Amino acid sequence: MGSIMLATSAGGDARVLHIAALRRAKASGSNLTVVHVIGGADYHAQPDQLREAIRSETHWLIHTMLGIAADRSGVEPVGVTIHILEGDVAEELIEFATSTRPDVVLVGAPRVSDHSEFSTESFSNLIAQLNQADLATEQIETA
């Protein structure tokens, strides 16, 4: 059985990304590992207990979003694991992907009109680093 890693922002536009990842996992008989990274000065300034609550709520949000995406797209359940990480988004995604070696890393292409963690340049650098680590990547258009 293969493995697919999905890097998600858990934003409102992630539904298309979630549906694409679920369909891909189902079609290939793969497990789906969903990764979300939380970081930034505001987050790290919070007490440990509040950061744990934020991670827990984010996990539940992503779990719920995946359930809705599966239901609305008609995709039968696949094996899904959700990981909520802390730190720099690009660094954490690259570290996770290189340590787990999924068959493919799916990422949502940033939309120009939306706030994104990545500028076009930093997103391109993320993709280049994943490719340099010999990790297959696929960009999913969410618009």
What pLDDT was estimated at residue 101?
A: 96
Residue pair 38/84 in contact by the 8 Å Cβ criterion: yes
Residue pair 33/6 in contact by the 8 Å Cβ criterion: yes
Q: Residue 71 contacts by C-beta under 8 Å, 6 or more apart in sequence?
A: none
Binned at pLDDT 50, 70 and 90, residue 73 comes out as confident
What pLDDT was estimated at residue 143?
A: 65
pLDDT tens figures, 75-120: 887 899 999 999 998 899 999 999 999 999 999 877 665 555 555 6
Average pLDDT over residues 45-61: 96
CB atoms within 10 A of CB 53: 12
The amino acid at residue 55 is: R
Q: What is the CATH number of the domain that holds 39?
A: 3.40.50.620
Residue pair 139/107 in contact by the 8 Å Cβ criterion: yes
Interatomic CA distance for residues 81 and 63, integer angstroms: 9
The number of domains in the chain is 1
- Give the domain extent around 112: 3-141
